[in-house]
Amino acid sequence: MRKRIAILGSTGSIGTQALDIIKTHKDKFEVVALSAHKNIALLKEQMGDFKPEQVTITDTKCYNTFLKDNKYNITLNHGLDGLKEMISSIDIDIVLIAIVGVAALEIAHYILDQGIDIALANKECIVAGGELLISKAKDKGARIIPVDSEHSAIFQCLQGCEDDSDIKNIYLTASGGPFKDMDIDNLHNVTPAQALRHPNWDMGNKITIDSATLMNKGLEVIEAKWLFNLDIDRVKVVVHPQSIVHSMVEFIDNSIIANMGVPDMRLPILYAFTYPRRLDTDIELNLYEMGNLTFERPDMVKFPCLSLAYEAMRIGGSMPIALNAGNEIAVYKFLEGDIGFTTIPKMVEKAMNIHLRDLIHDPTLEQVLYIDKSIREQLV
Ligand code: MN
């Protein structure tokens, strides 16, 4: 029987790479549902290629446009309610969440509540609502399988580990981004075009900017803390510019297991779909031509976003929501040309300071969404 897969955010970077790898294994997978925000042209193409049972368009204007010439004989849903309707009305084995930003939280929570497994490519939702999602998955017996390459690596390194107490530290690798070797005094002049040029990975705009500020690694530290149930100070970051080692687990005997491969998101996406088994690919790492692998400490002075993430998680409670909201706003402002590169961490810090007086422990889903919204309003 083919695995029945739903892809939320099918027209984005992860969504298109997922469909690309699925295409090479059509005997194993069936795409039963797709969702897109605005890219209707590409969605139509995907509908033609994969024949899903239902699709959802989240943007209202685009949904209305699509309705006018819906010559496809399939159920078309609209918005967040439409996503929920789609998820609950068809038989689905696993949902790939490839939507950008904290907007994915509510639907992730809903999917787990239905007892359906998630392949999680969105880190913002687990940063803002980690406790909620982890406990919901536990309650309902649903799995959250990481797609983020570092977390997929850790997840793979931990296969066969029988007890969490055997883990000493985990090491998330970071490429260091395009400004790793730039003088700190020149960082304020950096343009969006320069920041969008990532050395190794092909990714969406939001995450590429996050990689340049190292906020991506900060969010990933928090994501790892939740996914692997570790104390934040046991989640370490090591800069590894070649992006061949995708992350490592250090055990209490000081032995380290690493996951290696070509930096290509199709590998962690495929593993999330096939876990605990594997399938063949042509994405091959040639060890003979690889050259040197290097590792170094991250520069938290030059890239304050990383230390802000550790700080937000140490404060705990609702603070990571403020960290994430502040960052999402700052990144979009930077991309629009409204603020400079070095103002991004300053805005994040401002968001955290604003939130300090309203800090709460164990926020509910409604409280997470409310805090996220109110911080955005205060920053604009
Ligand atoms: Mn990653």
Q: Say how far apart CA 279 and CA 287 lie, in whole Å.
A: 20
pLDDT at residue number 74: 87
Ligand 1 centre and the CA of 263: distance in Å? 10
Ligand 1 centre and the CA of 77: distance in Å? 31
Domains, the chain, ordered by start: 3-146 (3.40.50.720), 152-313 (no CATH)
Q: Say how far apart CA 315 and CA 312 lie, in whole Å.
A: 5
Ligand 1 centre and the CA of 113: distance in Å? 26
107-to-68, 103, 225 alpha-carbon distances in Å: 27, 8, 21
Tens of pLDDT, residues 282-327: 999 999 999 999 999 999 999 999 999 999 999 999 999 999 999 9
Ligand 1 centre and the CA of 168: distance in Å? 21
Ligand 1 centre and the CA of 150: distance in Å? 5
pLDDT at residue number 200: 79
The single-letter code of the amino acid at 85 is E
Record the tokens describing residue 66, joined without a space: 């699509």
Q: Which residues pair with 170 in a beta bridge?
A: 235, 249
Percent of the residues in the chain that have a pLDDT greater than 90, as a whole number: 94
CB-based contacts of 71, cutoff 8 Å, min separation 6: none
Tens of pLDDT, residues 325-365: 999 999 999 999 999 999 999 999 999 999 999 999 999 99
- For the packed helices 343-356 and 205-213, what is the interaxial angle rounded to 10 degrees? 90
- Neighbour order of strands in the sheet with 29-36: 75-78, 54-57, 29-36, 3-8, 94-97, 117-120, 144-146
For residue 279, which of 24, 5, 38, 33 has the smallest C-alpha distance? Answer: 24
200 vs 333, more confident: 333
Ligand 1 centre and the CA of 163: distance in Å? 25
Ligand 1 centre and the CA of 186: distance in Å? 26
| Average of per-residue pLDDT across 111-140 | 97
Helix (H, G, I), strand (E, B) or coil at 214: coil
- pLDDT at 115 exceeding the cut of 90: yes
87 within 8 A of 33, measured Cβ to Cβ: yes
Ligand 1 centre and the CA of 3: distance in Å? 25
334 within 8 A of 252, measured Cβ to Cβ: no
